[in-house]
Structure 1
Amino acid sequence: MVFKVGKGNKIRFWIDPWCGNNVLSQVFPDLFSMAAQRNVTVEDYWDQNLGQGGWNLRLLRDFNDWELGLVGNMLVELRNYRVTMEEDSVLWREGADGLFKVKEAYRVLANADGAVFPHSNVWVDKVPTKIAFFAWAATWGKVLTLDRLQRRGWQFPNRCFLCGCEEELSIIF
C-alpha cells in the first residue's frame, strides 16, 4: 500500500511510503538521523508561508557542505508533492486503480517469487535432527546471534570472546 497526500495530517513524513513507493527514512538515512523529530506528519514539514507553500525540513543541526547533495536530492524527490485540502488516502500498490481487490491480491500471491526453503539440503537422513533444525532456523534468519540479542535489549560484557580481554580497537587491527 502507498499513501496519497492530501492534508498530510495522517501520513508520517519519514516512515510511511507516500513519496512514490519510497520510505524516506530508508532512502535518506543520514537526513533521517539528523531529523529533529522522526515521527512527524507530512503536514508538519509543509510550510504554507513560503509563497505557494514549500518543504521546511527541521533538522537538529545545520547541514555540512558535503550533505548539501543529500538535501538537494531529497528536495528533488519532494518537488512533485504538495499538501492540499483533500483528506489523505491509502492506495493499494498492486491495483490498477489503487483499490484493493481479492482477485488481484490472489494473483500477486500466486505469482510471488518468495523465499523457497531448501528442504532437500537440510532435511536429510545423514544429518542429526538438532543440526537440521539449526540450519532450518538459520535459513529463515531466526538464530539468536549476538547482534539480534542486543537488539532485543540483552546486555553483554564488552570483551573479546576469543581471548577474554576487554575489547579494544587494537585487537581488531
Structure 2
Amino acid sequence: MLALILLRCFNLASGLKVNLGKSKVFGIGIDNLDIDRLASILHCEPGCFPFKYLGLPIAANMNLVKSWNLIIEKFKNKLSIWKAKNLSFGGRLILVKSVLGSLPLFYFALFKAPKKVIAVLEGDGKHTYFWKDKWCGDIILRMEFPELYKIESEKNCKVSDRINIGDDVVFQGMWKRSPRSGRESAELEKMTSMVVDTSLSRKTDSWEWKAGEPNIFSVKSLRDLMDNNLDIHNHMGEFHWVKCVPIKVNCFVWRLLCNRILVACKLVETGILLDSVTCHF
C-alpha cells in the first residue's frame, strides 16, 4: 500500500498521473514471488531484465553482438524494398535520411557498437546482391545479362553464393536449366570472364565514395557532382532546396530540371505510343 500512497503523492505534487495499465514492476535483489505480489496490488504487470525503453535495450550487455539483433532488424525492416516501392520520391528521400541519419545517431550516441555489428550495417559479401547490386565495375549484372537473369534459380542470391574465392576466383552458377541458346551461351562466357577478372578479397565489403577526396563522402562533393552532371545552372541559375517548401514540391522541381518528369513527350521518347503529344486543355 505504501507504493500506492507514494504514487498518489506524486500525482498530487506534479499533476501527472501514472498509467498503471502501461507500467511494470521491476525488482533488484528481490524474489520473483514478491515482485508478482506487488504487481498484483498495483494492478500492473511484473517485469524482468533486460527490457526495452524508447526502443533501447536496458540492462542488456551491449558488448555482445546478440544484444544488437533487434536493432539490426529494425534497420533492415525500415529499408525493405516493398516500402520503397509504395513511397513517393520525396517519401523515399525522407526514409533514407531517417534510417541513415536519425537511427544511428539515436543508438550509437548511447552505446558503442561492436565491430561485427558495424560490419553488418555497412554490408559484406554476404549482404551484397550478385545480380542487383553494382559490385562488378560500373554495371548491374541483371541489366547487362538479361537472358541469364531469366534462368537464374535464385534471383536474390548474394555475391558469396556465386563466387568462390580460393587460389583463383571461380564462378558457380545455379540455373533453372542449363544455358543453351546462342545468346545465353554468349552472355555466360562474357559474364564469367568479367567476374573472374574482377579483383576480389576476403576483406569485409564497404561503400566507397568516388566523387570525393580522399574517397570520403561529403554533401558538398555530392552537390558538385549533381550540378556538373545535370548542368542545372544553364537552365535556371543555381538550384536551392528550400526548407519552407514541401518536400514533394522541391523534388518535383528538381526532377523537372533534370527532365525526369514522364510527360507525353518523354513517354514517346521511351517508345510508348500515344495518340497525340499535345495538351488537351
What TM-score, normalized by structure 2, do the two folds share?
0.37
Matches of 2:261 and 2:124 in 1, distance apart? 40
Report the counterpart of residue 52 of structure 1 in structure 2: 168
Matches of 1:21 and 1:55 in 2, distance apart? 19
Tell me which amino acid in the other structure corresponds to 2:125: G
- Larger helix share, 1 or 2: 2
> Please, which of 71, 74, 79 is the counterpart of residue 191 of structure 2?
74
Matches of 1:96 and 1:64 in 2, distance apart? 46
Retained in 2: the 8 A contact 1:7–1:84?
no
Closer/same/farther in 2, CA of residues 53 and 74 from structure 1, 3 Å limit: closer
Higher Cα Rg, which structure:
2
| Residue 64 (1) aligns with residue 185 (2) | no
Tell me which amino acid in the other structure corresponds to 1:107: D
| Residue 85 (1) aligns with residue 202 (2) | yes
> Please, which of 217, 225, 243 is the counterpart of residue 108 of structure 1?
225
Tell me which amino acid in the other structure corresponds to 2:262: G
Segment drifting more, 58-67 vs 10-19: 58-67
Matches of 2:163 and 2:150 in 1, distance apart? 19
Runs of 4+ in 1 over 3 A off after TM superposition: 50-53
Matches of 1:80 and 1:113 in 2, distance apart? 33
- Give the Å deviation of 1:46: 1.7
CA RMSD of aligned residues (A): 3.4
Segment drifting more, 80-89 vs 60-69: 80-89
Q: Which structure has the higher relative contact order (CA within 8 Å, separation 6+)?
A: 1
**Equivalences for 1:143-154 in 2 at 5 Å?**
none
What TM-score, normalized by structure 1, do the two folds share?
0.57
Report the counterpart of residue 31 of structure 1 in structure 2: 148
Gaps in structure 1 of 5+ consecutive residues: 1-5, 119-135, 144-173
Report the counterpart of residue 129 of structure 1 in structure 2: none
Count of aligned positions: 121
